[in-house]
């Protein structure tokens, strides 16, 4: 998959950049997977969690069996079973009875070590988290699980001592610091490659605030402004116009 797959807005020529949070995630994920443990990455919307985790998982050993599960609404344990059935590409019809379903999933998970990426984990309630714990605790399975979620994820998980006491690594994802912005944004997109560092700092203070999704949106509007005005380089007037679209 190309890096562009993970871009929020369709942003031609954008690159994945190595932030400090991404480097930490890489180490944490590889240690979690090696230990067949569970970890939790949590932090604000748009800070780059999903992109970082997908990038790091692709860099794991080629033989590692990674399955992605993304929740969009509050699932019941039943819904979690169905999601896992789909994520594991199991053949046939999903079993009707919970006990039969559990047996099927445990048998499939006993086949080989696997890694689950559970994104948008702030949607999970106690029952859903408990189901993951149940599968992970089963001696025949060799599961590593990476829970990724918004700020609320940490709170929800903390309320589940059975699961949270089993979390091997917690990583709080934070926004880019002003210093990091000056280092990574010029590498993120050609629009910023030859921009004046003062203009990048200005854009961060006024609009993006170290939030990567905001930087991606700002970059898209800045590209448009460059094309429309025929200018070759970012300036403050042009940036103000781009900010006006983000307010």
Q: List residues near ligand ATP by CB under 6 A.
A: 6-8, 16-17, 19, 22, 45-52, 150, 188, 212-213, 216
Residue with Cβ nearer ligand ATP (45 or 110): 45
Report the nearest approach of ligand ATP to the CB of residue 198 (Å): 22
Q: Which does 164 bind (CB under 5 to 8 A by kind): Mg ion, ligand ATP, none?
A: none
Burial of 239 (0-12, 13-18, 19+ CB in 10 A): buried
Residue with Cβ nearer ligand ATP (141 or 219): 219
Question: Could you say whether residue 222 binds Mg ion (CB under 5 A)?
Answer: no
Cα–Cα distance measured from residue 67 to residue 88, given in angstroms and rounded to the nearest whole number:
7
Residue with Cβ nearer ligand ATP (8 or 168): 8
Write the DSSP assignment of 4-42 as a string of letters. GGG-SS--TT------HHHHHHHHHHHHHHHTT-EEEEE
Instruction: Compose the 104-143 pattern: x for residues touching Mg ion by CB under 5 A, - for all others.
Output: ----------------------------------------
Q: Which does 189 bind (CB under 5 to 8 A by kind): ligand ATP, Mg ion, none?
A: none
The 8-class DSSP code of residue 123 comes to: G
Residue with Cβ nearer ligand ATP (7 or 24): 7
Report the nearest approach of Mg ion to the CB of residue 49 (Å): 5
Burial of 18 (0-12, 13-18, 19+ CB in 10 A): middle
3-state SS string for 179-203: HHHHHHHHHHCHHHHCCCHHHHHHH
Q: Is the dihedral of CA 124, 129, 130, 131 positive or negative?
A: positive
Report the nearest approach of ligand ATP to the CB of residue 243 (Å): 18
Residue with Cβ nearer ligand ATP (63 or 179): 179
Question: Could you say whether residue 50 binds Mg ion (CB under 5 A)?
Answer: yes
Cα–Cα distance measured from residue 197 to residue 227, given in angstroms and rounded to the nearest whole number:
21
Beta bridge partners of 149: 42
Binding residues vs Mg ion (CB under 5 A):
50
């Amino acid at each position: 998959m190309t890096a562009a797959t993970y871009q929020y807005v369709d942003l031609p020529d954008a690159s994945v950049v190595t932030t400090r949070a991404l480097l930490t995630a890489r180490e944490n994920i590889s240690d979690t997977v090696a230990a067949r443990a569970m970890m939790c990455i949590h932090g604000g919307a748009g800070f780059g969690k999903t992109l970082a985790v997908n990038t790091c998982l692709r860099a794991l050993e080629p033989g590692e069996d990674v399955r992605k599960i993304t929740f969009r609404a509050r699932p019941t344990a039943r819904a979690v079973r169905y999601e896992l059935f789909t994520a594991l590409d199991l053949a046939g019809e999903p079993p009707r009875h919970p006990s039969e379903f559990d047996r099927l999933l445990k048998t499939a998970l006993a086949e080989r070590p696997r890694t689950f990426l559970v994104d948008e984990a702030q949607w999970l309630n106690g029952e859903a988290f408990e189901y993951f714990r149940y599968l992970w605790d089963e001696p025949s399975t060799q599961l590593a699980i990476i829970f990724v979620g918004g700020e609320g994820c940490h709170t929800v998980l903390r309320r589940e001592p059975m699961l949270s006491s089993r979390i091997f690594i917690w990583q709080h994802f934070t926004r880019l610091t002003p210093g990091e912005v000056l280092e990574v944004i010029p590498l993120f997109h050609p629009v910023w490659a030859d921009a004046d560092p003062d203009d990048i700092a200005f854009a961060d203070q006024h609009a993006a605030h170290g939030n990567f999704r905001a930087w991606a949106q700002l970059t898209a509007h800045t590209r448009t402004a460059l094309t429309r005005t025929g200018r070759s380089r970012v300036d403050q007037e042009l940036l103000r116009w781009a900010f006006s679209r983000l307010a």
